[in-house]
Amino acid sequence: MEEKRILIVDDEESLLKVIKKFLEKKGYQPETAKDGEKALSLIKKEEYDIVLLDVRMPGKSGFEVLREIRNLNPSIFVIIMTAQNTMDNAIEAMKNGAYDYIVKPFDLDELHLLIERIEQLIDLQGEVKALRAELGDHQQKWTIIGKSQKMQDIFKAIGKVAGSDATILLLGESGTGKELVARAIHSHSRRAGKPFLKVNCAAIPRDLLESELFGHRKGSFTGAVDSQQGKFVYAQSGTLFLDEIGETDINLQSKLLRVLQDKEIDRVGEEQPVQVDVRIIAATNIDLEKAVLEKKFREDLYYRLNVFPIKLPSLRERREDIPLLADYFINKFAEEISLNVSSISEEAMEKLIQYSWPGNVRELENSILRAMLASRSKILSEKDFSFILKEEEDIEKISLHPLIQQKFFRILKEKKGEKILLKIQREVEESLIKLALKESDNSQSKAAQLLGINRNTLRKKIKELKLDKILKEIS
């Protein structure tokens, strides 16, 4: 591990000496500065990896210095040192891009743990950078951004599992970056130079998914005009990423279980099995344990997949990463499509941090691009994000629809509480599905999008609710 360069900034000379001496005993060679101006002067001349920064100093405050450090070198990890353990200080530190903050008086061993954690993160980032250079830019359209504790835990998990061939189950809401994590695991594994293939199990019709995965022989079914190898064969010696695996049917789940158990597949129309050497990484945004209890997902397959689960946090759970992500997307789009936008105003950033982000990082990325395309200024303002902020305000104002109220009271009166929640849920779902289909001209894909579910889930709901007439209309 290469020695990291550390700068300590504090106007208390006694504290500077204590921290410097402690870090020297740990094998570091830290430098010191007594105020913000001296610190910034050093940072302009020298390359530092980590800065320990006091908040209250003569001249520029720690937060002012932090903002300037972010402008000079965004890759520097800053730990804020503060005597005031307040929510405002914590928010201000994270909003301005600090890696973490520590409250005075602090345990020096606790500080050392923070520094070691940053060292691991820097080394991981260095490995990713080297890998990108090795594989070429055309294969590197993915980047995992985050300095929050939750993302550090994800980075550590990637490091733990990458070296093995264990099956991985990625859990998390849509848009949290499950494919990025899958690619990172593959790229750090012994299979890195081999294929990485993705199959979205929810996007392919169920009657075609088996053939897509396992392949088929020419003439084995109507429409099989040519033989096809299937993704398992194409991914030989590499990694197969099965996204939305919770949407597969029970019959296909049995075949996937056999692959995990016996390392062989049966092509449609052939009797002789084919041996495969493929690592499987599966992902889902549904509760598989609940699906197992409801007999919608095989219990034995669930336990085979759940060897090493990794739960990805929603963007709401790591709001401190939003400024970092926003900066990354602005720089990315400014370079890729030559957009003349360089930053976001403090007021707009505050709103973005407070927003709920139901679509997670994917929604943030799309929102940044939309705002950049529409903006006439180099700095994105609150107004540029009105399309999402107004939407959330409107949602908060929505009250229970009168139609639902009427149905509630009718069921309450007729059934006298017997399974009333299930009855109301059924009627509400039926009304919403009918409305969504009507609004989307009976397009299942568009209706599913309006309802915030995928098409297979919509089909299931239509069958469960026995909406036969609607099925005939949209078939």
Q: 7-57, pLDDT tens digit by residue?
A: 999 989 999 999 999 999 999 999 999 999 999 999 999 989 999 999 888
Q: What percent of the chain has pLDDT over 70?
A: 81
Token output for 313: 């946090």
Structural domain includes residue 131: no
Identify the band that residue 472 occupies on the pLDDT scale cut at 50, 70 and 90: low
Residue 80 falls inside a structural domain: yes
DSSP-assigned letters across all residues of 254-283:
HHHHHHHHHSEE--BT-SS-EE---EEEEE
397 or 281, which is more confident? 281
Answer whether residue 316 shows pLDDT above 50: yes
Q: With cut-offs at 50, 70 and 90, classify the pLDDT of residue 205.
A: confident
| Final residue belonging to a domain, choices 311, 345, 370 | 311
181 and 319 both lie in a single domain: no
Q: Is residue 133 part of a domain?
A: no
User: Are residues 258 and 183 part of one domain?
Assistant: yes
Q: Are 433 and 443 in contact (CB under 8 A)?
A: no
The whole-number average pLDDT for the span 72-79 is 89
Query: Could you tell me which residue, 389 or 128, shows the higher pLDDT?
Result: 389
Using the 3D structure, point to which of 375, 397, 419 is the last residue of a domain.
397
- The rounded distance, in Å, linking the Cα atoms of 323 and 97 is 7
Query: Does residue 137 sit within a domain?
Result: no
- 143 within some domain: no
Mean pLDDT in residue range 132-145? 54
Amino acid at 70: R
Are residues 381 and 409 both part of a single domain?
Answer: no
CA angle 83, 102, 107 (to 5 degrees): 95
Decide if 331 is inside a domain: yes
Residue 81's CB is within 10 A of a number of other CB atoms, namely 22
pLDDT digits (tens, 9 = 90+) for 378-409: 999 999 998 886 655 554 444 445 545 555 55
Domain count along the chain: 4
Cα-based torsion angle of the residue sequence 235, 237, 242, 245 in order, rounded to the nearest 10 degrees: 120
Burial class for 50, CB neighbours closer than 10 Å (0-12, 13-18, 19+): buried
Asked if 184 and 132 touch (Cβ cutoff 8 Å), the reply is: no
At residue 130 the predicted structure's pLDDT band, cuts being 50, 70 and 90, is low
Specify if 274 maps to a domain.
Answer: yes
- Which residues have a Cβ under 8 Å from the Cβ of 402 and sit 6 or more positions away? none
State which residues form the domain around 295: 149-311
- If asked whether residues 170 and 92 sit together in one domain, one would say no
Q: What is the pLDDT of residues 94-122, one digit of tens each?
A: 777 788 888 888 889 989 988 988 887 77
- Does pLDDT of 138 surpass 60? no
Burial 262-294 (b: 16+ CB within 10 A, else e): eeebbbbeeeeebebebbbbbbbbbebeebbee
- List the CATH number of the domain containing 445: 1.10.10.60
Residue that terminates a domain, selected from 397, 417, 445: 397
The three-state secondary structure class of 5 is coil
Q: What is the CATH number of the domain that holds 34?
A: 3.40.50.2300
From 175-189, 365-379, 444-458, the region with the lowest mean pLDDT: 444-458
Say what percent of the chain tops pLDDT 90: 44
Mean pLDDT across the chain, nearest whole number? 83
- For the cut 50, the answer to whether the pLDDT of residue 136 exceeds it is no
Same domain, yes or no: 176 and 298: yes
pTM above 0.85, yes or no: no
Q: Are 168 and 274 contained in the same domain? A: yes
- Is the domain of 406 the same as that of 373? no
The alpha carbons of the chain give a radius of gyration, in whole angstroms, of: 27
- Pairing state of beta strands 6-9 and 50-54? parallel
Do 254 and 290 have their domain in common? yes
Could you tell me if 301 and 161 lie in one domain?
yes
What is the mean pLDDT of the segment spanning 348-366?
A: 92
> What would the mean pLDDT of 408-433 be, rounded to a whole number?
66
In 163-305, alpha helices (H) = 178-187, 206-214, 231-234, 250-262, 288-293, 299-305
For residues 303 and 156, membership in a common domain is answered with: yes
pLDDT band at 471 (very low <50, low <70, confident <90, very high): low
d(CA 247, CA 238): 23
Question: Do 180 and 278 have their domain in common?
Answer: yes
Q: Which residue has the higher pLDDT, 87 or 6?
A: 6
The answer to whether residue 423 is domain-embedded is: yes
Residue 359 phi, psi dihedral angles, 5° rounding? -95, 5
Q: How confident is the model at residue 172 (pLDDT cuts 50, 70, 90)?
A: very high
Tell me, what CATH number does 341's domain have? Answer: 1.10.8.60
Same domain for 167 and 307, yes or no, is yes
Comparing CA positions, the residue from 26, 19, 87 lying closest to residue 52 is 19
The C-alpha atoms of residue 418 and residue 427 are separated, in whole angstroms, by 15
